[in-house]
Amino acid sequence: MERRKFIQKSALGAAGILAATPLLSSVMTEKIQSFGFQVYTVRDVIQKDMEGTLKTLKKAGYDYAEFFDFGGGKILGKPIAEAKKIIEKSKIDVKSIHVMTGAQAPKMTGSLINEWQKGVDDAAELGAEYLACAYLLDFERKTLDQYKQLAELFNKAGEACKKSGIQFAYHNHDFEFQAIDGVIPYDLLLSETDEDLVKMELDIYWVRYAELDPIKIFQKNPKRYPLWHVKDMELDNNHVMTEVGNGIIDYKQLFAHEADAGLKYFFVEQDRNWKVDPITSLKTSIKHLKGINY
């Protein structure tokens, strides 16, 4: 606190001199500068009105998004070219897109197991910087051998992404932290995948739901977590999701460790248990995040 007071007083007394110093630069980055959201939060409304929904969230202060419902040459049910025009008009940047392995729909192109290059090419057309595997279905993750096969699949997916200037990543829930035959599947994925080809998108809520510390995870595997999912957790009621600032997760503390994580983008998400409509939910979360100093 003394350091901060000193910097603030110095800035007031000699702003012209300190404007280019690292100390003042450090102070000026203590507030979050840009904000992202996961489109799945507003899935019910964006399917009906993509242009209007993106416009509303841009006005609310969101700068970029992570999309979903991707594959077969479409995103959110629209052909890539059509969706691209709408997204560009909204001024919301596509930073990441969620994908599935394809096991749930083997005939759909653009998935990890079927014509993956098509998915990579479509993502590049949309300007995405990341493609992240969103979820593993129950039958895909019953054994450690399956996780080892998934790690191999992720490495190959990452290689294809890298050639197109895209980074592949994996998004967790809580099941990856439940031991199988004495092994934590999440640890297996970390060790069996190439750290340059496969980054991790850490869902802060699900890590806390699994009663783990996100900061320790960052510090154990530094710079491997360029993407976060940001949502909060109620203290009671089985720790259900809630808007950022309405729960028990200390995001001020977490953002102070963004360098450990290697954070590039975060996406506000609340994909269930709304007490308000999803648009209002995202507005509530961003209002809290805008007030954070770290």
**Do the beta carbons of residue 242 and residue 208 sit within 8 Å?**
no
User: What are the tokens at 14?
Assistant: 């000699």
Distance, CA of 183 to CA of 190 (rounded, Å): 12
Which domains does the chain possess? 1-30 (no CATH), 34-290 (3.20.20.150)
Distance, CA of 100 to CA of 111 (rounded, Å): 6
181-235: pLDDT as tens digits:
999 999 999 999 999 999 999 999 999 999 999 999 999 999 999 999 999 999 9
Distance, CA of 123 to CA of 118 (rounded, Å): 9
Instruction: Please list the ranges in the chain whose pLDDT falls under 50.
Output: 1-27
- Residue 273: the pLDDT is 74
- Residue 2: the pLDDT is 39
- Residue 143: the pLDDT is 98
- Residue 146: the pLDDT is 98
Pairing of strands 232-233, 241-242: antiparallel
- Residue 48: the pLDDT is 95
pTM: 0.89
Q: Is 180 helix (H, G, I), strand (E, B) or coil?
A: strand
Q: Residues, the chain, total? A: 294
- Residue 142: the pLDDT is 98
- Residue 286: the pLDDT is 98
